[in-house]
Amino acid sequence: MELVKLTAEEFDRIAKIIYDRAGIYLPEQKINLLSNRLRKRLRALKLATFGEYEAILKDANRCEEELPHFLSAVTTNETYFFRNEDLWNFFSGDLIRYLVETKKGKPKTLHIRSAASSSGEEAYTAAIALREKLPDFASWKISIIGTDISKRVLDQAREGVYNDYAVHKMSKAQIKRWFVCKDDKFHLTDQIKSMVRFQHHNLRDPFPGGRFDLTFLRNVLMYFDTPMKKLVIKAVTDSMVPGGVLIVGDVDPIRTTPELNEAMPCAYQRAGVYLKPGGGTAKLNLERAVTA
Ligand SMILES: C[S@@+](CC[C@H](N)C(=O)[O-])C[C@H]1O[C@@H](n2cnc3c(N)ncnc32)[C@H](O)[C@@H]1O
């Protein structure tokens, strides 16, 4: 049976819907990728052509129901626990020390956000690293939130059940400590699950009430064009406290784009690490910061 493919015109129209809804920019070369991903939605909805699928996306009533599936189909959700060893070494040492210092003489609270959390590995890694390394852990009040545009990955995150790829960077001892292994799957213990919650959110929108001491924004900016990146930088940094830390991904497009550098209100520290001005006297040691 011949595989149904997007025409160039269909691609343009559907790519525009993706851009308008999620800010994700798909160049023409992605036509085969998009065809492959959306073919699964055609099958699920028992549709014969992309034209029929487009009609659903353009129908205000039917679109609301399809949109979460559509966005889930077109986003890239690659992630795993302890992704980027350098980052997590930095987190477990100098970054925790800095966060502790910022709270001297204040309530011992930490608000952490994994923006574009995908299926939760980054947010849960932060929870695990804090349990392992934060001095006097029990005396802290910690809230960690993961946000993403894809409802499918958020459901997976809330379930907290992972395959062996997700945990491939963890030691056996860590896996044993923080997961229960059942039916070849790794189930996070409630100790870790209960530290994190997940919320649907589009990165370009403000995050009302957000006062984050630490925000991860890794491996997502590269999907956006410059105007969208600017919107995201503003929305994300607005929701950080003065002195808050922003961690961006292995590939940091901000550094290499003058327009984004100008739009970034946080001060570059070194690869992957930014600090929002206006904090107290705490000093962030960067000896072992993230390497790009
Ligand atoms: C590659 S994953 C990154 C996961 C994790 N931060 C990491 O670095 O391992 C990118 C995530 O960004 C999400 N995403 C894409 N566009 C988004 C948007 N406009 N708002 C919120 N999340 C978005 C996708 O759904 C996907 O889960």
Report the nearest atom of ligand 1 relative to the CA of 79.
9
Provide the pLDDT confidence category of residue 2 given band limits of 50, 70 and 90: low
Model confidence over 202-236: pLDDT tens digits? 999 999 888 999 999 999 999 999 999 999 999 99
The pairing of beta strand 240-248 with beta strand 273-275: antiparallel
80 pLDDT more than 90: yes
For residue 75 and ligand 1, the question of a CB distance below 6 A is answered with yes
For residue 84 and ligand 1, the question of a CB distance below 6 A is answered with no
281 pLDDT more than 60: yes
How big is the chain, counted in residues?
Answer: 292
288 pLDDT more than 90: no
For residue 92 and ligand 1, the question of a CB distance below 6 A is answered with no
Which SS3 state, helix, strand or coil, does residue 185 take?
Answer: strand
Report the nearest atom of ligand 1 relative to the CA of 204.
19
For residue 229 and ligand 1, the question of a CB distance below 6 A is answered with no
For residue 232 and ligand 1, the question of a CB distance below 6 A is answered with no
Rg (CA), the chain: 20
For residue 250 and ligand 1, the question of a CB distance below 6 A is answered with no
Report the nearest atom of ligand 1 relative to the CA of 203.
20
- The pLDDT, as a whole number, for residue 286 is 77
156 pLDDT more than 60: yes
For residue 203 and ligand 1, the question of a CB distance below 6 A is answered with yes
292 pLDDT more than 50: no
Domains of the chain and CATH, by start:
8-74 (1.10.155.10), 85-275 (3.40.50.150)
21 pLDDT more than 50: yes
Query: Mean of the pLDDT values across residues 263-291?
Result: 86
- The pLDDT, as a whole number, for residue 34 is 94
- The pLDDT, as a whole number, for residue 178 is 98
Report the nearest atom of ligand 1 relative to the CA of 217.
6
Q: Give the integer Cα–Cα distance in Å for 20 and 61.
A: 17
Query: Mean of the pLDDT values across residues 263-277?
Result: 93
Report the nearest atom of ligand 1 relative to the CA of 216.
6
Alpha helices, H only, the chain: 8-22, 31-45, 50-58, 60-74, 85-90, 96-102, 121-133, 151-159, 172-178, 190-193, 226-238, 258-263
Query: Mean of the pLDDT values across residues 56-77?
Result: 89
- The pLDDT, as a whole number, for residue 291 is 52
For residue 83 and ligand 1, the question of a CB distance below 6 A is answered with yes
CA distances (Å), origin 76, targets 30, 33, 161, 178 = 13, 11, 19, 26
